[in-house]
Amino acid sequence: MDIYKIKYIKYKKKYYELKKLKSSINEIIDKIIIVPKEYNILSFEQQNLFRIYEFDKDKDKDKNNTSNPISYIKNDYMNQIKIGEKFDKISDSSSDSSDMILEKNIILPNEYFLLSDSDKAKYEINESDYDKFPNRVVPKNYKKIIEDNI
């Protein structure tokens, strides 16, 4: 009898979790990043609002290279932050782009992270984005450190 009680409790918990997820579909749609469990509950039209953000890559390369999605991101959010245009142009050729970046006095965070560690040391935070993140120091841009020959 104990086995049946344990199974009953287990399935009852799963049922309540599923019921809770079904009732909070509007909250799920409002999120920027969701997990596959939430994604699978959405209807086909609602699923089209999201696209795969991260994959779970298999450690064994001998097996088929099947990768399962870990998370999904909202399409509107990706369009809003406009990832792609500037970043793709910069990351096409690494040596040419790093030379172009080093010629600038003020650079963006995307450009900063493309530089090597020794080149990053030549820049410091110029402006912080306190409007977007009031409780953290998040750089808006970086400026080149003027080296004085002593």
| Residue with the two structure tokens 């509950």 | 41
Contacts of 81 (CB under 8 A, 6+ apart): none
Same domain, 93 and 51: no
Q: How is residue 132 written in tokens? A: 């977007």
Pair 7, 56 in one domain: yes
Measure the CA–CA gap between 122 and 103, rounded to whole angstroms. Answer: 11
- Tens of pLDDT, residues 132-149: 667 777 777 788 887 654
Residues 10 and 77 in one domain: yes
Containing structural domain, residue 21: 2-81
39 and 107 in a single domain? The answer is no
Q: How much is the average pLDDT of 102-110?
A: 81
Tell whether pTM > 0.85. Answer: no
Q: How many domains does the chain have?
A: 2
Residue 50 is encoded by which pair of tokens? 């999201």
pLDDT in tens, 15-61: 998 888 888 888 888 888 898 888 988 889 999 999 888 887 655 55
Residues 58 and 118 in one domain: no
Percentage of the chain exceeding pLDDT 70? 78
Residue 150 counted as domain residue: no
